[in-house]
Amino acid sequence: MNGNSQTPQPRRGRSGNPADRENRRGEEDSQTPSHRASPANLSQIRLQGSARIIKDHCADWNNFMERWDELNDKGFQLANKIINLKLHQEKQVQSTEALLAHDSGAESEKTKDEICYPRKHLADKMHNITVHFEGVRRLEYHTSIDEDPEPLFDTWTVDRFCEISEELEGMYSQEIKLKESIVQDIAHQMSRDVLMTYISLWHHQPYLEERNHLMLKSMLLETGWVDP
Amino acid sequence: MEPLKQHIKKVFATLRGDLKTRRECLTSTEALWESLINTVEQYHCCSRAQEGKTNVAVFRDFPEANEKLQTKLVSTMSLLVDRIQKKMPVLEKTSKAAHTGWQSTWQLLAKQGRHVDVAESVKGTSTEPCLADMLLWLQRLNLLLQQDYAERAWMLESMDFESETLMVGYHSLWLSKQKILQQEIDTIFAYLQFSVG
């Protein structure tokens, strides 16, 4: 994922006259391959300012989601181990229950430390992206002559990036809350059905909708990280 | 009688290749069935957990999580059934090949039947089965494969994720049918190994 080329002209201090805007666009066209960075020419354009921030954060979203999936697999293995221990515990005599409960409790703490906190850290970073996007949106509205800013890339305005980022962040933050709740409760449950449900909830991540990867890919396509 | 025998041997030789492909195809469905039954089990554990444990913190704090999970599980189960369904054309092709082979043999028998010495047709050796036996095996193989395909297709059509007992039963039946049929196939081809090659 590389973006190297000329710098688009900054869009500040312009007149509100539509004719002037057309003339300005012509001048910009003569100086840069395109006054807007479209996926077709992003490889030739070095972005700055808002477009750069947006593009970099889209890459961050991709990296964070990949990291999340890795952590989910690790967490699943640990959670599975705890649950197998507890299900095995049901078949043991009562005198060993305290010992095994301690073991599964220790494993539960280990799960929380090893998996939940890094994941929480990721969720915080995802939140920060949305905050940055919101900052870019405010800046664009502030500096734009028109009521609505123009798209920074091909068709998406900053609003669209904000919407997608907020939606993704919402999914992941709800999912981390669910996982924290599971980790806190897992050691206290003995019912096989409940434990199986917990492991299933962990693995299938109900708050992460199937379209989250589609939303990510749309962002990457728009910003030129992937080819159409 | 010789042309008829040669024809039957050719049919069996072709069928042997088809049956090998069929067997590999069915082997590949075993992993899919395992995943399907695991998912069915998860689905029913979720339903029971939701009904029985209203004081569980996770269910209380995330009331929609279980429903979202079950939606995902149903989607996964449907996907797995689709993937098993995609294997069915191979089974269908084999059953059709057996039927075509049997039909063509029957047509040839109808044409040349008058030339077949009945007493000779039941004479065979350890390396060369008699015509009568070969006709019987071909007929049986055709019937078994038709029946097997029809039953498997029916199983896939009548699946009900809401019934864990039914799904587990179908899984067991899917595997046991293949075991029984394969034993028959192996027996027939053991008799034919020297004559068919």
The pLDDT score that the predictor gives to residue A110 is 60
3-state secondary structure chain A: CCCCCECCCCCCCCCCCHHHHHHHHHHHHHHCCCCCCCCCCHHHECCCHHHHHHHHHHHHHHHHHHHHHHHHHHHHHHHHHHHHHHHHHHHCCHHHHHHHHHHHHHHHHHHHHHHHHHHHHHHHHHHHHHHHHHHHHHHHHHHCCCCCCCCCCCCCCHHHHHHHHHHHHHHHHHHHHHHHHHHHHHCCCCCHHHHHHHHHHHHHCCCCCCCHHHHHHHHHHHCCCCCC
Name residue, tokens 């060993």: A96
Task: Nearest by CB to B58, from A181, A204, A210: name it.
Answer: A181
pLDDT, one tens digit per residue, over B14-62 is: 999 999 999 999 999 999 999 999 999 999 999 998 887 667 888 889 9
| B58/A207 touch (CB, cutoff 8 Å), yes or no | no
> What is the reported pTM?
0.76
Round the average pLDDT of chain A to a whole number and report it: 73
For residue A89, the distance in angstroms to the closest alpha carbon of chain B comes to 18
Touching check for B41 and chain A: CB below 8 Å? Answer: yes
A113: pLDDT strictly greater than 70: no
The residue of chain B with its CA nearest to that of A203 is B69
Look at residue A20 in the predicted model and tell me its pLDDT. Answer: 40
Give the residue from chain A lying closest to B62, CA to CA.
A178
Question: For A116-137, how does the pLDDT look when each residue is reduced to its tens digit (9 = 90+)?
Answer: 667 777 888 888 888 888 888 8
Of B45, B50, B72, the CB nearest to A206: B72
Q: Could you tell me the pLDDT band of residue A88, with boundaries at 50, 70 and 90?
A: confident
Share of chain A above pLDDT 90, in %: 23
Question: For residue B154, what pLDDT is reported?
Answer: 96
Q: Which of B61, B64, B69, B79 to mutate to test the interface with A (most CBs of A within 10 A)?
A: B69
Give the residue extent of every domain in chain A.
50-222
B56/chain A closest Cα distance in angstroms: 8
CA distance A106 to chain B (A): 20
Q: Which letter does DSSP use for residue B47 in this model?
A: H
pLDDT of A27 > 50? The answer is no
User: pLDDT tens across B145-154, in order?
Assistant: 999 999 999 9
- Chain B: give the shortest CA distance to residue A134, in Å: 28
Could you say which of B48, B62, B65 has the minimum Cβ distance to residue A193? B48
For a pLDDT cut of 90, what percent of chain B falls above it? 68
Contacts of B63 in chain A (CB under 8 A): none
Contact A31, A7 (CB under 8 A): no
Cβ-based burial of B3 (10 A; exposed 0-12, middle 13-18, buried ≥19): exposed
Question: pLDDT (tens digit, 9 = 90+) per residue, A207-227?
Answer: 999 899 999 999 999 998 888
**pLDDT per position as a tens digit, B105-126:** 999 888 887 777 777 777 777 7
pLDDT at B118: 75
**Res A15: pLDDT:** 38
Chains A–B, number of C-beta pairs less than 8 Å apart: 63
Most B CBs within 10 Å, among A175, A184, A203, A204, to test the B interface: A204
Residue B178 to residue A40: CA distance in whole angstroms: 54
Check A185 against B72: CB less than 8 A apart.
no
Return the pLDDT at A144.
65
Instruction: Measure in Å the smallest separation between the Cα of B146 and chain A Cα atoms.
Output: 39
The confidence band for A1, taking pLDDT boundaries of 50, 70 and 90, is very low
Band of residue A52 on the pLDDT scale cut at 50, 70, 90 = confident
Dist. CA B50–CA B63, nearest whole Å: 10
Cβ under 8 Å to A: B residues 76-115: 76
Q: Which of B41, B61, B76 has its CB closest to that of A181? A: B61
What tokens were used for B191? 């008799």
Q: What is the mean pLDDT of residues A30-34?
A: 34
Determine the pLDDT at residue A148. Answer: 62
pLDDT of amino acid A5? 37
